[in-house]
Structure 1
């Protein structure tokens, strides 16, 4: 773990930086000062996504997949709650049926930390595994990505691949082992992306690793697994889908993001909105609008829960290439500075603000703030979510979208802002300081912002109804 002096130094360096990369998952110093494309902003974007297989009961095929990969020693990762539930049983049954040798790691922490990542990495390094399987939500899949990465780079320091400026953000140049992700929640989209997020405890904020190299080989999306999500887990997971779609659709366009990478290996995973990501993000919004309330209110509604499972994939492809911005950047210190709040239905002993909840609580304030830069997109999003925008002026786009979101959250019985989960006005400076290092995402905001702007957004989010 980085010492206090290193953390203070990092924050000071951030404040002094003259040239900041808006979304890089790799540090820019590898070629700093050399713009190979002859311009300051990027001119290209890449489309990257895991292979996806979808179908009711498709988990039964995983044993055959592992046989087809020639797997001899499989690492299966999950968490303790899930280890006793049908999704893991279905995977184990398939592995047994097809004679697959495996070892199970069930100590994944819900909302993982750098310490819990390191525990899983140690397990992976000792196991000499040739294939990885992750069965769970984003916490499990992200932990498994990190374990695979560092087991394949045994000499690497933990901060080598962590996003700059918190880590060194080195490019990943060596191939990783195959990873099959079996998502059991309908939210993170981690089965599609090259991103692994964790709480960096020294900063009391989330950060992560972002590289196309760590995305799963296969995302096995079995909607039957979503029937085991408790109501609040379904709601908070769905809010992550909602914000993935909204933020990626309203992110700065890829050809306005700077700097232009000197080498394609330096092009970030989060590139800004682009024509391909727009299709996925917009479609995810349509599905959320139609099915999310049903999926939360009726756990037996297979159509609704299946549709939200697919919406998670759609939004994952969208934001996995375009990126997210202020809701996510501000969410990281909200989750990291949690005091005593324990979200219902998560079955954990430690205080926890689930990721989707920490993201959505600032959404009304954020989209009011960003709307002036791309009002048409904000109005379109509001319309998809059910608002009548036929006579709405462009300058009212932020108000209309924020009001639409506020009603959506109220209908789904979401806590009334940051104040309801334990934060006060006195906490705002710490929340702002925790947001500053999140440049990988915050610089994708369509509207630039200051520390004072961030403070205003946090204050506006203390109460949302």
Structure 2
């Protein structure tokens, strides 16, 4: 990762910026070092160990289901960044000892330069491969199952995803279910929509080559899809799903249409904002009884903070340029790097309300088709579905941590020197709304997507099962009826901005 960042443009400036970010991070106090007497008395130190871990020391075991988290983990794929690195992928698989590779893409990317380079690179190293090119943009459970059915009889010893987040997520699940061929599809799906079974095996190597600058899926252990029967997006999240290697080649995003650049970039924007403002990791409940049960999305932490805030600053600076000028290669490169940085940030800290609300927005699409997307079906692109609620969401979450919301507003260029803490949420909401408006061709609320007040109840009910992300939302009530009231108000506020 360090080498990748050094290879990027303006590396020295970025390094200084990353270090300065720590000043804003205000990491949660370490549960040990927050007590000034920790290092001076042996007996309390052992008692604290029992309190933190639930293991029997001098203190009695505690019920971990009622205890807050005390630790966080960092997990991310290995990353290689640089123009032209796609051509190295054949050597990568040869170095891994892979002989049969399943290449996963969609019908559009199948005919682009990225896929052609992959075919040449694999052939050059004498590696057998087959191509699955039927990935659906914004995948459904049915399209995921079709992909799994393709992979099982081929029985590859490695996977290669070439495309956007839909392609990479589909490849992750092909990898998972070929390793667990007898598993029911819902076994690993996030609870409560699925059974939330942990992945207790090491999966086969997966190399991801993103061709869009948005999802950060090349770094994360998360795969998202529509569960049609429930009319909601859900997915599977576990560290073992993350790709072995992400090959981040700016040349592969040059052909992105302007609308795709905008939507993908809005996903980066919300990834960074949500992970930066998520509840601190040591406020999450329950504490896991075993490290394997610690979720991928853990809450804001000092390391994720650095990646998230840096990605936010880059997105604000470079996304408008990338959308407006198809020849601005610097802006495109910086957005691809920002997507990866945000992926590391949210892949460990998590996202919250914008994403939780986006899943029913996409899954309950009343018939909207976003301009610039060459698909036959109606579609609310993921970046659009998350950004449309962002002004309302951050107005709501502002009181939870005014300092962080003001730091985010400052990233948009707002002078925060005289802003009162109680106005932090409103100031950030206004900054986001102005940014979205200036970007152009974006729906200015749910009404522009075809939703009316009559849809709100269904949108609320489609959001409630997204417990994996809602648990990280600052200020959201845990009592069900109060949660419903808050979500209803948020959807109402998202009708227009």
Q: Does the CA contact (< 8 Å) of 2:64 and 2:286 recur in 1?
A: no
Q: How much is the aligned-residue C-alpha RMSD, in angstroms?
A: 1.1
2:37 is matched with none
Residue 462, structure 1, aligned to residue 485, structure 2? no
Alignment deviations for residues 3-39 of structure 1 (CA, whole Å, 9 cap, x no partner)? xxxxxxxxxxxxxxxxxxxxxxxxxxxxxxx867696
Question: Where in structure 2 are the equivalents of 1:241-252 lying within 5 Å?
Answer: 241-252=268-279
1:39 and 1:204, CA in 2 relative to 1: closer, same or farther beyond 3 A? closer
1:42 is matched with 69
Residue 57, structure 1, aligned to residue 84, structure 2? yes
Give the whole-Å Cα distance in 2 for the aligned partners of 1:438 and 1:60.
39
1:426 is matched with 454
Residue 173, structure 1, aligned to residue 206, structure 2? no
Residue 320, structure 1, aligned to residue 347, structure 2? yes
Q: 1:447 aligns with which of 472, 475, 480?
A: 475
Residue 273, structure 1, aligned to residue 300, structure 2? yes
Paired residues in the alignment total: 431
Q: Does the CA contact (< 8 Å) of 2:77 and 2:242 recur in 1?
A: yes
Flag the structure with larger Rg: 2
Q: 1:417 aligns with which of 445, 457, 461?
A: 445
2:34 is matched with none
**Moved beyond 3 Å, runs of 4+:** 34-39
Partner-residue secondary structure (3-state), 2:234:
strand
Q: Does the CA contact (< 8 Å) of 1:36 and 1:260 recur in 2?
A: no
Residue 135, structure 1, aligned to residue 162, structure 2? yes
1:73 Cα deviation after fit? 0.9
Give the whole-Å Cα distance in 1 for the aligned partners of 2:65 and 2:264.
42
The structure, 1 or 2, with the larger RCO (C-alpha pairs under 8 Å, 6+ apart) is: 1
Partner-residue secondary structure (3-state), 1:228:
coil
1:217 is matched with 244
1:302 is matched with 329
Report the TM-score, using the length of structure 2 for normalisation. 0.86
Alignment deviations for residues 282-341 of structure 1 (CA, whole Å, 9 cap, x no partner)? 110111121110011111111000000000000000000000000000000000001221
Q: 1:392 aligns with which of 404, 413, 419?
A: 419
Give the whole-Å Cα distance in 2 for the aligned partners of 1:211 and 1:249.
21
Question: Where in structure 2 are the equivalents of 1:399-410 lying within 5 Å?
Answer: 399-410=426-437
Q: Does the CA contact (< 8 Å) of 1:247 and 1:327 recur in 2?
A: yes
Q: Does the CA contact (< 8 Å) of 2:103 and 2:129 recur in 1?
A: yes
2:283 is matched with 256
Give the whole-Å Cα distance in 2 for the aligned partners of 1:301 and 1:317.
25
1:351 Cα deviation after fit? 0.7
1:434 Cα deviation after fit? 0.3
